[in-house]
A and B are shown apart, each in its own frame.
Chain A
Amino acid sequence: MNARPPAPTPPSLGRAALLVAEREITSQVRTKSFLISTAILLVGVLAAIVVSSVMSGRDVEDVPVAVVTSVAGVLPTTDGLATSDVADRDAAEQAVRDGDVDAAVVPGSGPLDVEVLAMDSAPQVLMDALTVAPEVELLDPAAADEGVRYIVTFAFGLVFMMSAIGFGSTIAQNTVTEKQTRIVEILLSAVPARALLAGKILGNSALALGQTAAIAAVSVLGLVVTGQDDLLTMIGTPVVWFVVFFAVGFVLLAAVFAASASLVSRIEDTGVVLQPAIWLTMIPYFVVVFFSDNAPVLTATSYVPFSAPVAMPVRLFLGDAAWWEPLVSLALLTVSCLVVIAIAARIYERSVLRMGARVRVREVLAGADAD
């Protein structure tokens, strides 16, 4: 400490922002609450997928069916049937009566020279296997059934809203804490306000994106493990788009949250100033969820910056968006993101050092001399 080494050069804006982002990430990743909530979230997602898979009957046990050996060749090998060979019709009937099997295929009359024995009704899966169905060509294979459609819409919306509100609140809380503890004065004597804001947005966006990517990974894993790969091929591309839209859309909201929070000096006052930001996060979500079957509304919301991150991937999933539509929407979102960041930086720079009463947005934006 006695010898004075040459003074270091102050970090560039970008480097300062990275340092701030690094602190935001490491300090949050280390908190128990973050780890626990992330773990709960991931386990919840996995549980939801497994439960829904069980509920939808994809995992029901194979139907036990007895087949008389002489007609074994008639029954095509089908999923959902556990066949066991029996010697003759009597043995088959005995097995059905004993409840060892749900049905039995025995020699008889009919096009296939077989009959089906069952107690009160024949299992549908067996009847399907013995029925000749005409070839079906689906003209719109991407169109999903109503239930899946609702669940996917709901999932995109929920993940985005939860992440945005969760991490948005964290940004807001950190911003106010910095103001309240006045550490912001020390930080600003070292780095510009813009670097502080950028680092905060960057760090939390990375965390939010990481968490969302983890959710996506767990979802994929869950779908594969429960044998719902078919659903996966349907939502694969929309999920990738969702992550891209999420990244930009979250940055937009993060800027709004940080700027809003910089207006007050005490944690107790954050609720009021965050109201608009929270509405901006929640309203698009509800619009998308409630109007998921209303094409005009969905199309409109897929271009509105605050709802696009949910609405556009949903439209892609439903298969009613042309290839260029997400690109246009993303461009719109990016431009509005840049505009909002510019405004947010102005608000943040000018209000982050003003202690005491809540700062008015109009006052901050209008006065060139409002610090």
Chain B
Amino acid sequence: MLELHGISRSFGDRLVLDDVSFTVGRGRLTGFVGGNGAGKTTTMRIILGVLAPHAGTVTVDGRPVAGAQRARFGYMPEERGLYPKMQLVEHLTYLARLHGFDREGATGRAEALVERLGLTPRAKDPVESLSLGNQQRAQIAAALVHDPDVLVLDEPFSGLDPMAVEVVQGVLAERAAQGAPVLFSSHQLDVVERLCDDLVIIAGGKVRAAGTREDLRREHGRARHEIVAEGDMGWLRDVPDVRVDELAGGSAVFEAPADVAQHVLGAALARGPVRAFTPLRPSLAEIFRDVVTDEPELEEVAL
């Protein structure tokens, strides 16, 4: 279990992280969501130890992270970087060896990973000759090649085509299933929504919400329902405690507390057959908007 306790960090006079605490559980895919400049990258760099916090600690299973243990982390930085002139497999082998694998072990891992990510035809090509999407996959391979105990990935899905997104999702889920805490940031809220078990929402250097996806939905989403009936649903507008969002003949989307919604269902049944009655779960984008209302750079977030 990877934990952050009260991490603060400033650059000059600017406080970039303010008392950031959250947990990435073993075997859980945790999505790290926030606008540009919210502090995601700084947080990740601190977890990896490439940047020192001004306050707070990072622990794994309750113990502060030391140098040797950090070498067992896998990291994909925000700005992609590999040696442009090195061959792909050779490059991955080098990284694995830096993490302590012997030459054969490192080569074996590099080749297996290249195959898993569908890069085998490019195995001997210099990294710079790969397409952008393939460079992205190579970067993910670089984060995984030493079989890390903890995975921290900054925007692993940006620039990937849908097929590559599937492959990477699969690889990350596999790692989580093996018991590694996996933290990744993303602007693609739909991907985060589909993939992750837990969520951390950060804005202005502060954690605004953290927890399982379902908990966050309950806490921050508005309770909405969709109802489809035979007859006209116009009467719904007159029910107290109900706010109608959409209404078209027999179908309506409305916001109401759970008991009121049940009452609406009962009333609708009394008037005639009801085709459908569904609680609408709030999308991550809605939760995000709800949580990060005071985030000034919100408009830059790709929803």
Contacts and interface: CB of A to CB of B under 8 A. Distances in A.
Are A and B interaction partners? yes
B217 interface: no
A1 B115 CA distance: 11
A189 B178 contact: no
Contacts of B174: 1
A11 B45 contact: no
A1 B94 contact: no
B81 A1 contact: no
Q: Most chain-B Cβ atoms within 10 A of its Cβ — which of A16, A187, A188, A189?
A: A189
Q: Is the interface of B mostly helix, strand, loop or mixed?
A: loop
Q: Is the interface of A mostly helix, strand, loop or mixed?
A: loop
A182 B48 CA distance: 14
A353 B51 contact: yes
Nearest to B149: A7
A124 interface: no
Nearest to B105: A8
B137 to A, nearest CB: 15
B147 A4 contact: yes
Contacts of B206: none
A147 interface: no
Contacts of A335: none
A186 interface: yes
Chain B interface residue number, banded:
35 or more
A185 interface: yes
Given A19-B94, A19-B98, A189-B49, A5 B86 contact: no
Nearest to A182: B81
B84 interface: yes
A8 B101 contact: yes
Given A1-B113, A371-B52, A186 B70 contact: no
B68 to A, nearest CB: 5
A188 to B, nearest CB: 5
A189 B83 CA distance: 16
B77 A185 contact: yes
Given A4-B178, A7-B147, A189-B70, A183 B83 contact: yes
Interface in B24-83: 45, 48-52, 54, 67-68, 70-73, 75, 77-83
Chain A interface residue number, banded:
20 to 34
B95 to A, nearest CB: 7
B73 A189 contact: yes
A27 B70 contact: no
A190 B178 contact: no
A11 B100 CA distance: 5
A9 interface: yes
A127 B102 CA distance: 74
Nearest to B45: A185
Contacts of B85: 27, 31
Interface in B84-110: 84-86, 94-95, 97-102, 105, 109
Contacts of B77: 182, 185-186
A189 B72 CA distance: 9
A353 to B, nearest CB: 6
A187 B178 contact: no
Nearest to B54: A369
B105 A190 contact: no
Q: Most chain-B Cβ atoms within 10 A of its Cβ — which of A178, A188, A192?
A: A188
Contact of B72 (A5, A7, A180, A186): A7
B95 A185 contact: no
B163 to A, nearest CB: 20
Interface string A21-54: 0010001000100000000000000000000000
Given A4-B147, A8-B100, 15 more contacts: A1-B147, A8-B146, A10-B100, A11-B98, A19-B98, A20-B98, A31-B85, A178-B83, A181-B80, A181-B82, A186-B142, A191-B98, A192-B67, A353-B50, A369-B54
Interface of B: 45, 48-52, 54, 67-68, 70-73, 75, 77-86, 94-95, 97-102, 105, 109, 112-113, 116, 142-143, 146-147, 149, 174, 178
Interface of A: 1-2, 4-5, 7-11, 16, 19-20, 23, 27, 31, 177-178, 180-192, 353, 369, 371
12 contacts: A1-B174, A8-B100, A10-B99, A19-B98, A181-B80, A181-B81, A183-B82, A186-B77, A186-B82, A190-B146, A191-B71, A369-B54
